[in-house]
Amino acid sequence: MFREALSVPYYYLPLFLVSVGIYGIVSQRNLFKQLVSLGLIDTGVNILIISLGYIQGMEAPIYSAVTPIAKFVDPLPQALVLTAIVIGVGVLGLGATLLIKIHERYGTLELDELKFSKEHQRWQEIMDDEGDVGV
């Protein structure tokens, strides 16, 4: 069954998008690039669900007098993907907002620089606290 599923060309694009997205999240050290990679994974999964719901010879479940109801595909995958798209846009929007705030505060989106900045800030607070003890 798995071999038959991979023989269908509709699954190549979603698998490619998910693979590129996972590679981007693992390999990139920039938060913006990781957010774009998350969007690629989201898009790939949505296309995969739509591809799984496709049946050759059937039509979209849009009521018309010409198409009989027996020729309609199941509308559930389409409804799930529509919901997933809305949720994905919300997650990416929230992520972009957080990235803007991080960039405003630290001036960078590179993970290595952010870790260094937080360590430097922590040491600065320790030094300030030690300086206040003698006063």
- Residue 106 counted as domain residue: yes
Domain count, the chain: 1
Got the DSSP string for the chain? Answer: -HHHHHTSGGGHHHHHHHHHHHHHHHH--BHHHHHHHHHHHHHHHHHHHHHHT--TT-B-S---SSS-GGGBPPSHHHHHHHHHHHHHHHHHHHHHHHHHHHHHHHS--BHHHHHHHHHHHHHHHHHHHHHHHT-
Structural domain includes residue 87: yes
The 10s digit of each residue's pLDDT in 49-62 is 988 887 778 777 77
Q: State the pLDDT at residue 62.
A: 79
Quote the pLDDT of residue 34: 97
Structural domain including 14 reads 2-110
Residue 6 falls inside a structural domain: yes
% residues pLDDT > 90 (the chain): 47
Could you tell me the pLDDT band of residue 91, with boundaries at 50, 70 and 90?
very high
Residue 76 lies in a domain: yes
Query: What is the CATH number for 68?
Result: 1.10.287.3510
- Mean pLDDT confidence for 112-118: 84
